[in-house]
């Protein structure tokens, strides 16, 4: 059976070029102009594999990946024009199966696609998993066991900001200005301390996945809650 591949990229020229390459190799390739167009078509698209640009305006690659993983285990390969290790790790922990640098040669791209398709066909569907529940309107966070995770006002405001911008880097200056509401100074490490405290509450698994990644010289990126591979520990209170 011919595999159907969705190519999601906000660069029409690149998306069309990649779709043509895949078509010549016998795949059914459909190019989507950005994450929002793909999400709108997703219920009927039914791809066997998704190739997803990480940095897109509107619905970012990480946001699309998070939405995709909420109801599907379809193999997903992230596209990136950057060599930033932290961004690649964030994508893999967020549910991506592999990464392709846009400058990679066609043979490598095709090889990685075929590997991901074989892996996807061999893996059984994952069992349904309990999820974290964050409600900004009710100002509550529940862990997968249904327990309330108690957050201070500053921790909640920081989580709300990062959650709103999931998958996108948020600068320390913006975190400082919008959460602590005081002038920002480079030497002020208050936000770093606050992030460390928040991590202790939403990353309770020893050796578990990071949900907030630090990007050196940039700030922080929140990759989503539903990346844990092991049962969560009891929530910490404070």
**In a domain? residue 237:** no
**In a domain? residue 14:** yes
Region class of 98: left (phi > 0), else alpha (psi between -120 and 50), else beta: beta
Q: Which domain range does residue 81 map to?
A: 4-122
Out of 122, 149, 182, a domain closes at 122
Out of 96, 122, 148, a domain closes at 122
pTM above 0.85, yes or no: no
Cβ atoms 52, 78 nearer than 8 A: yes
Number of domains in the chain: 2
- 104 and 140 in a common domain: no
**Contact residues for 91 (Cβ-Cβ < 8 A; gap 6+):** 54, 61, 62, 65, 78, 80, 99, 223
Average pLDDT, the chain: 84
> Where is pLDDT greater, at 23 or 94?
23
- 115 and 33 in a common domain: yes
**Contact residues for 90 (Cβ-Cβ < 8 A; gap 6+):** 62, 167, 210, 213, 221, 223
- 37 and 108 in a common domain: yes
Residue 149 reports pLDDT greater than 90: yes
pLDDT at 72: 83
- 9 and 117 in a common domain: yes
- 45 and 9 in a common domain: yes
Measured CA to CA, the distance from residue 164 to residue 152 in angstroms comes to 18
Residue 145 reports pLDDT greater than 70: yes
């Amino acid at each position: 059976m011919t595999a159907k591949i969705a190519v999601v990229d906000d660069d029409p020229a690149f998306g069309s070029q990649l779709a043509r390459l895949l078509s010549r190799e016998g795949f059914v390739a459909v190019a989507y102009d950005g994450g929002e167009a793909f999400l709108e078509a997703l219920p009927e698209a039914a791809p066997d594999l998704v190739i997803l640009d990480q940095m897109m305006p509107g619905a970012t690659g990480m946001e699309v990946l998070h939405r995709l993983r909420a109801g599907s285990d379809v193999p997903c390969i992230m596209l990136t024009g950057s060599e930033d290790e932290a961004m690649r790790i964030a994508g893999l922990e967020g549910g991506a199966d592999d990464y392709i640098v846009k400058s990679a040669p066609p043979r490598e791209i095709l090889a990685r696609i075929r590997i991901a398709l074989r892996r996807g066909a061999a893996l059984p569907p994952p069992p349904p998993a309990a999820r974290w529940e964050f409600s900004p309107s009710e100002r509550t966070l529940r862990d997968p066991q249904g327990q309330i995770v108690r957050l201070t006002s500053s921790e909640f405001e920081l989580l709300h900001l990062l959650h709103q911008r999931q998958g996108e880097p948020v600068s320390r200056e913006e975190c400082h200005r919008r959460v602590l509401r005081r002038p920002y100074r480079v030497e002020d490490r208050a936000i770093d301390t606050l992030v460390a405290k928040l991590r202790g509450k939403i990353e309770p698994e020893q050796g578990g996945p990071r949900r907030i990644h630090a990007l050196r010289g940039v700030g922080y990126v929140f990759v989503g809650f539903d990346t844990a591979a092991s049962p969560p520990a009891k929530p910490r209170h404070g």
